[in-house]
Amino acid sequence: MYLGIDIGTSVIKAALFDRKGHQKAEASERMSLLEAPIGWSELDGEATWETAARVIRSLLRDAAAAPSSIRSVGITGVMVGVWALDENDRLLRPPILWNDARARNLVDRLQAAKPGLISAVFAHSGSVMQLGCTLPVMAWLAEHEPEVLAKARHILTAKDFIRFRLTGAIATDESEAAMAPGSAVTRDFHLEQAALLGIEDHIRLLSPVARGETLAGAVTEAAAQATGLKAGTPVAVGTGDTSACVLGAGAHKPGQAVTVLGTTCLNGVIFDHAVYEPRDLGLLFIVPGKRWMKSMVNVAGTTVLDWALETLCPDILAGEAPYEALGALAEQSPPGANGVSFIPYLSASGVIAPRIEPKARAGFHGLAPHHRRADMVRAVYEGLAYAIRDCFVAVGGVKSSIRLVGGGARSPFWSQMIADVTGAPVEVPEGTQFGAKGAALCAAVALGDYASLDEACETTFALKARFAPSAETRPAYDAGFARFKAGSEAALGALRAVAD
């Protein structure tokens, strides 16, 4: 079997997969972020490693899997951020994560001095630089905690730190390097990107870059004692969580569309070359196996349902199977939610696709006295489905079907709605831990058990459900999408008017 490990922001997961890609067992454990100033996001690095080791031990125990049955290990995790190690390989400070915003003032100041900064970064990386990316966080450290960079010998990210603890090998992969930000063409770090942020002297701290589907090392004796794995078990380089999830969904062919409907809602199309259009918008993820995915992200994903349960339906939240009950309530309203629209920009950071507006916020539009709670709840589901359509339009549309994974894919009601709204068939793969599966596929290819990731994805994909778009609901959803666009533009226009 192959072991996949997924280091999340708040949950560490692991799963076992057989040669055909069937998920045989899984285990997980939650973690808590450290208390920190508003806008900061930090973890206890040592606790993260200890949690990962416990999850692996728990998985092997519960699956009754002998350590010798694990052929190889793949790792994925939340991308970018900074995990700084000193000369003794100890963490110098709590790791800073991808969703950290402490560099905002620094980046704003640099952009004021260099008005073309964000566009210059995009010109190489193909992605809009996020504040929690590795290079802007390093720039913040250089200004506010210079002693950290002075003592640092290596700058890692989450999965790279866990792999280092497993193998003792320092490495990163192409997806992390390009998103640092680096270059999406060379799939590597880029000196000019560091120079734009004034940290070219520190680029030496970044790890050597290798392909995700190659081997990084093997499990050490110390790591074997901690995890229950067999010493000498091969460990692959692995890839970032988005790329791993795409591979786990069996998507690797150019033109395939993928929606990851989790805490955030990511929508992308796979290409066999770097794609820079639309300019200064979206994220370009490196996918192992010489693939790229142009993506648009609605920052709020399944969190809109959590909000609806807590604020509109506390009675349902307190009952059994709250998400199923919420969907049943939404079904009491017809397609189009009787004219109610919900703009799902339910994030303190606003919206980043298909436009960038940090001040954008969520809201209902079109409410009238005759509307009821069911209409509002259905509008919440529809709002995110319209946002998915909006994001795909921005990357050129869906040419085939949409592979849907993440917590939202568990809802047949929502899956069918997304098919109806986008006009594209929605395919939900078998399994639950798609990030871990993508990491495991990288490990299998690294050993040569599959000739390529194309073969691995094709061989291991299994369809759980397919939802064909309905012609009957199309008029109602087209009208709803038009209302969504009008409401979105009106809300953003009001914000701009107030700002002016």
Give the pTM.
Answer: 0.93
What is the spatial distance between Cα 296 and Cα 265, in angstroms, rounded to a whole number? 8
Q: Which residue ranges in the chain fall short of pLDDT 50?
A: none
**Helix residue ranges per DSSP H, 280-333:** 303-311, 314-317, 322-330
Number of neighbours of residue 315 by Cβ within 10 angstroms: 10
Question: What per-residue confidence (pLDDT) applies to 213?
Answer: 98
Please, what's the b/e burial string for 338-348 (b: 16 or more CB within 10 A of its CB; e: otherwise)? bbbbbbbbbbe
The sheet that has 23-30: what strands, in order across it?
23-30, 11-17, 2-7, 72-77, 234-236, 215-218
Q: Is 286 helix (H, G, I), strand (E, B) or coil?
A: strand
Domain boundaries, the chain: 2-242
Closest C-alpha to 398, from 419, 377, 372: 419
8 A C-beta contact, residue 429 and residue 402: no
For the stretch 87-141, pLDDT in tens is 999 999 999 999 899 999 999 999 999 999 999 999 999 999 999 999 999 999 9
Question: What per-residue confidence (pLDDT) applies to 347?
Answer: 83
Question: What per-residue confidence (pLDDT) applies to 498?
Answer: 62
CA distances from 270 to 149, 193, 207, 330, 424 (A): 36, 25, 26, 33, 16
Q: Which residues, at least 6 apart from 366, have a Cβ–Cβ distance to it below 8 Å?
A: 339, 340, 341, 483, 487
8 A C-beta contact, residue 74 and residue 236: yes
Question: What per-residue confidence (pLDDT) applies to 352?
Answer: 81
Helix (H) or strand (E) holding 225: helix 221-227
Question: What per-residue confidence (pLDDT) applies to 491?
Answer: 73
Question: What per-residue confidence (pLDDT) applies to 493?
Answer: 67
Find the distance separating the first CA and the last CA of the chain, reported in whole Å: 60
What torsion do the CA atoms of 51, 57, 60, 66 make, to the nearest 10 degrees?
Answer: 140
8 A C-beta contact, residue 25 and residue 59: yes
Question: What per-residue confidence (pLDDT) applies to 499?
Answer: 54
What torsion do the CA atoms of 121, 122, 125, 127 make, to the nearest 10 degrees?
Answer: 120
For residue 196 the two structure tokens come to 């734009």
Question: What per-residue confidence (pLDDT) applies to 497?
Answer: 60
Cβ-based burial of 102 (10 A; exposed 0-12, middle 13-18, buried ≥19): buried
Tokens 């730190």, located at residue: 161
Closest C-alpha to 393, from 282, 314, 240: 282
Number of neighbours of residue 290 by Cβ within 10 angstroms: 15
Tokens 């560099």, located at residue: 103
List the CATH code of the domain at 2-242: 3.30.420.40
Backbone phi and psi for residue 81, each to the nearest 5 degrees, phi listed first: 75, -170
